């Protein structure tokens, strides 16, 4: 069952699956690989562990996890957009990582897995896109086993006022203008992404959500001048 926001997000991203990685590079000033490296280093489970990557998109984070897993470890990537999952599967198969990743079409708020199925769970640059963030974290916590890490990486409002002026002008002006020069779909997607980042939760607010779901030692770590925050907690 999809609400209005889920239908909108699915429609929006279903039109740009092949270009999404380029859009992400523009949004992150080409820092997204370093951010994903931090997430993998923080949340990678032990030998033979299983990772759940929620809102996996084109599978960028799933691929990074897959490269580091040993033994019987594998990743399950979940997304509500079928075209994104098809793109992710094609890309990881072409890189020889397909045998380490399974793909599931599902919503973040209703994960079709048993309690404690995974050694860790992640959601990367997508919390702004879910309809119910507390329920999403509740599902990620439920499906993570004791001692596992639940981690969110997402854009935030940078604390430096001078940088804010530059960054907000970029998000609301130059960024969507560039998109419209490429195509109508790009313009619509970049406009949505810019607006959603300005409404994003702070790292401290996300840490509070994790704590409310029973995760221990929740903390927020700002990266790249605070334009993103990695927020994580441990399943009791």
- Identify whether 167 is part of a domain: no
Distance CA 109, CA 160 (A): 33
| Residue range of the domain that includes 52 | 4-158+200-235
Alpha-carbon distances of 136 from 34, 129, 236, rounded to whole Å: 25, 11, 18
- Identify whether 146 is part of a domain: yes
pLDDT digits (tens, 9 = 90+) for 61-111: 999 999 999 888 999 999 999 999 999 999 999 999 999 999 999 999 999
- Identify whether 171 is part of a domain: no
pLDDT digits (tens, 9 = 90+) for 15-50: 776 677 777 777 787 899 999 999 999 999 877 799
Threshold 0.85, pTM exceeds: yes
Number of domains in the chain: 1
CATH number at 28 reads 3.40.50.150
Distance CA 130, CA 8 (A): 11
């Amino acid at each position: 069952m999809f609400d209005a926001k889920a239908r909108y997000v699915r429609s929006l991203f279903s039109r740009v699956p092949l270009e999404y990685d380029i859009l992400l590079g523009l949004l992150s000033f080409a820092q997204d690989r370093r951010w994903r490296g931090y997430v993998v280093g923080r949340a990678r489970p032990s030998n033979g562990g299983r990772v759940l990557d929620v809102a996996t998109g084109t599978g960028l984070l799933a691929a990074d996890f897959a490269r580091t897993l040993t033994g019987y470890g594998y990743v399950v990537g979940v997304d509500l957009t079928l075209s994104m999952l098809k793109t992710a599967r094609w890309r990881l198969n072409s890189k020889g990582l397909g045998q380490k990743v399974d793909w599931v079409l599902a919503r973040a708020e209703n994960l079709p897995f048993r309690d404690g199925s995974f050694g860790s769970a992640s959601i990367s640059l997508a919390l702004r896109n879910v309809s119910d963030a507390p329920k999403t974290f509740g599902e990620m916590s439920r499906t993570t086993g004791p001692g596992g890490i639940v981690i969110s990486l997402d854009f935030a409002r940078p604390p430096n006022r001078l940088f804010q002026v530059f960054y907000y002008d970029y998000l609301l002006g130059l960024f969507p203008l560039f998109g419209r020069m490429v195509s109508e779909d790009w313009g619509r997607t970049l406009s949505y992404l810019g607006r959603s980042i300005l409404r994003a939760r702070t790292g401290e607010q996300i840490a509070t959500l994790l704590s409310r779901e029973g995760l221990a030692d929740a903390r927020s770590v700002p990266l790249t001048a605070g334009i993103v925050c990695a927020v994580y907690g441990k399943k009791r």
